[in-house]
Structures are given as C-alpha cells and as structure tokens.
Amino acid sequence: MVDLSPYEGIVFDMDGTLIDSMPGHMEAWKVTCERYGYPFDAHYMNSLGGVPTWQTVIVLNNKFGMQNDPTEVARFKRETWESMELEPVLIASTMAVFEHYRPTMAIGIGTGAERLQAEHLLAAKGLLNRIDTLVTATDVSRGKPHPETFLTVAQQMGIEPAKCVVFEDTAIGKQAAAAAGMDCIMVKNGEIQI
C-alpha cells in the first residue's frame, strides 16, 4: 500500500483514476468530432482528460480554426455518452487506496465532469455518499490545468492544500495539482505509478 501518512486529505480525479470510464468518453468524443468536423486523434483527446467538455471544445476550435458553439458541442457529447449506456468499472489500484485510507483521512473528488454526470456515476458505484466533497466542472469557473478544482476540494475538506495528495491520470491534472501546491501520484492504465 502506498504510504500517505504525510498527508491529511486525498483528492481523486474521477474518470480514468477511480472509475475506468475513459474508453466510453473517447468513443463519445469520436462521434462528436465526426459530427462537428474535428479530426479525431485518440491520443490527443486523452491528453485533454480532466478538461471540462465545453473548454475542450474551445481548445479544438482554436486548434482547427473552427467556430463551433462550445455549449452545443458539449451537450451533444454528453448526450452521446449517456446514450451509450456503458457500465464503467472501478479501478482496483486506486479503490484499494480509497478503502485503506477512508476510515482515517478526508477524501474528495475533483473532476472535469459535469456535476449531474459525476453524481450519477459515483452514486451508481456506491461512492457518492462515502466522500467528503465533490467538485466538478459545474462548480468552478476555470477547469484543469488551473488549480481551482483541487483548491476548492481542499477548502471544502478544511485542509491546507500542501497537506493534500492528488491521484491523477493526465498531465493536465498533474499540472493542476502542482499549481495548487499539492503532491501528485499518477495513475497510468489503472496502475499507480510510484
């Protein structure tokens, strides 16, 4: 078990870190990119994991010189993902950390997902009522890589940012953790990188 004794709080990203929902999100992005004329690059889209959907649309518009409405594209992507009726699974390595430290440490989730989507997914997996706080893209004005998501989680848990550790699966999430003054442990392909 990873030693988290120097910390008082744990902040988990959700998609790709606690719950393996990224394959479904990539499929929804593929359909969305085809619908709105963006070239689809799975590696590039994965690198944007954790960025709120509407903000991802702005990034894509800038990258490809397009003018698609971020709200409309984000809605289409969300509806596409929801219509797929996928059953994401919990990631064993991070859930082991969750279970081990839940009795003694505060645990929050900081995700780039929208609140309704995050609450639905966490409730379906029996986690929503077991965390101390949830901060989503709906709750912040600046998503990852800005530190607002993680700083808000720490504030709501009542813990100084430097006493929190973040579990993340993307470089953008790692940047957000560093900007928040938090240590970050990476999760790659479901395995904790120590």
Cβ proximity of 187 and 167 under 8 Å: yes
pLDDT of residue 65 exceeding 90, the answer is: yes
Digit-coded pLDDT (tens) for 12-42 = 999 999 999 878 889 999 999 999 999 999 9
Q: Which of 3, 13, 20, 183 is catalytic?
A: 13
Pick the CATH number of 22-83 from 2.60.40, 1.25.40, 1.10.150, 1.10.530: 1.10.150
Catalytic, 13? Answer yes
Helix (H) or strand (E) holding 164: strand 164-168
Q: Is the pTM of this model over 0.75?
A: yes
How many CB atoms within 10 Å of residue 7? 19
9-21+88-193: which CATH number, 3.20.20.70, 1.10.3080.10, 3.40.50.1000, 3.50.50.60? Answer: 3.40.50.1000
In whole numbers, what is the pLDDT of the chain averaged over residues? 94
Task: Tell me whether domains 9-21+88-193 and 22-83 share a fold.
Answer: no
